Amino acid sequence: MKRSAQQEAFDSTPWAGRVRSYDIIKEGAIAILIVSILVITFSLVFGSPDDKQLTFKGWAQTNPTNFYDTTVQELAGTSGSAGYGPPYNHASDGLNMGPFWLQKWAGVTHPVDSTNDLVINPLSSTVLMPEVATALAAWKSASTDQQLAWATAYDTAIAAADGDYTAAGPGDFGPVPAIAQGLTDVAKSGSLDGLLLSGGNFFSTDNTKQILFFGDGTYLEDAATAANLQGNTWGMMNETGRYPGQAWLWLYSLWYQISPFTNEESAPLGANADAYIMFVVLGLTGALALAPIIPGLRSIPRRIPLQRLIWKNYYREENISRRK
């Protein structure tokens, strides 16, 4: 339903009708007072969420097996981060939407070499037990093919043993077991967080390597599942503890609950869910921004006239009936 030019002209014209007294500064002051009282009250009564940060020390101490196994995956290049693709490495092309490979096109701008950045370099930067030092030296002096062969063999054997590396079948694993044990011990001591963060520097604020390594194992994931923060349980909207989360993200979180986006195996939509969902949300946001000019959407307030409630006093005083 198109509005008439006359109605539009009326709405654009500065108001020349009846007015009422209105104290804008007083209104602002009262608003600040009321909201501040509410905020202070809620803060005193409920506090705020603050679940303690996870550390590599915590991971290696509570689940050393998983930490060890993940270390081997980093060396074998089978971890999530090792196969991620841009912006960290070229191991994969990342996600695409038809002919659009935005992830790949943006390039590897934040290189992370899972094997060296997450395992070999941090281990090399600290004081080691003799057997670990020897193993590390053996690794470094071997060819890349040999390194990969050792690590892959061990990774496969561990997988065959359902993650129990102590039950891994026989094989030529070279220095990999000693390296994995070495890093596990470093993690248990508490120094791995700093080693991964600093990369040998004094100043650093980039936690990327830590986050990637964390996410490759189960420690972070399990904690998130326990707190109901996984994407497919509306986790984007949730908060730790019994606190309200981000209800305003409902329209973004929604798509992660819906097929085919829920199935990572389902190509192309499920396998590239993160990319498609970003664009769906972009489209919906665009619709919200452009609602005033979208036919159908812009006429909803006229067709469902809640406005009669908002302006009921004025309509009654001026005796204005509903305009069709």
Partner 1 sequence: MNVPATYIHFTSWLQISVANLIVILVMIALFTIALLTPFPGSNTKGSHKSGDHK
Partner 2 sequence: MSSELDTKTESTMWTAKLRNSWQRNLPIDKLLPDTQPAYVASWIYIFGVLTIAAFGDIIVSGLILSFAGPAWYHTSSLGLFVNSLHFWGVQLFFVFMVVHLWGKFWMAAWRGGRFRTWLTGIVAFLASIGTAFTGYLIQTNFDSQWIAYEAKDGFNAVGIGAFFTPTNIGQIMLIHVALLPLVLGVITVWHVLLVRKNGVVPPMDAAPEGGN
Measure the N-to-C terminal CA separation of the chain; round to a whole number of Å.
10
Cβ at position 263, least distance to partner 2 in Å: 16
Q: CB of 89 within 8 A of CB of 116?
A: no
Instruction: Tell me if 62 contacts partner 2 by CB under 8 A.
Output: no
Instruction: Tell me if 236 contacts partner 2 by CB under 8 A.
Output: yes
Applying CB under 8 A, among 47, 111, 199, 283 the residue interacting with partner 2 is 47
Q: Which does 234 bind (CB under 5 to 8 A by kind): partner 2, partner 1, none?
A: partner 1
Q: Which two tokens stand for residue 316?
A: 């009654």
Q: Which two tokens stand for residue 234?
A: 């509306």
Rounded Cα–Cα distance for residues 253 and 231 (Å)? 7
Instruction: Tell me if 86 contacts partner 2 by CB under 8 A.
Output: yes
Instruction: Tell me if 247 contacts partner 2 by CB under 8 A.
Output: yes
CB-nearer residue toward partner 2: 161 or 280: 280
Cβ at position 217, least distance to partner 1 in Å: 22
Rounded Cα–Cα distance for residues 218 and 220 (Å)? 6
Applying CB under 8 A, among 127, 242, 248, 295 the residue interacting with partner 2 is 248
Q: Which residues share a beta bridge with 100?
A: 97
Sign of torsion over alpha carbons 260, 218, 65, 75:
positive
Cβ at position 309, least distance to partner 2 in Å: 8
Instruction: Tell me if 53 contacts partner 2 by CB under 8 A.
Output: yes
Q: Which does 233 bind (CB under 5 to 8 A by kind): partner 1, partner 2, none?
A: partner 1
Rounded Cα–Cα distance for residues 288 and 297 (Å)? 9
Phi and psi (nearest 5°) for 30? -65, -40
Residues that bind partner 1 (CB under 8 A): 15-21, 46-47, 49-51, 226-228, 233-234, 237-245, 247, 257-258, 306, 309-310, 313-314, 317
Rounded Cα–Cα distance for residues 238 and 232 (Å)? 11
CB-nearer residue toward partner 2: 131 or 318: 318
Q: How many residues does the chain have?
A: 324
Cβ at position 228, least distance to partner 1 in Å: 6
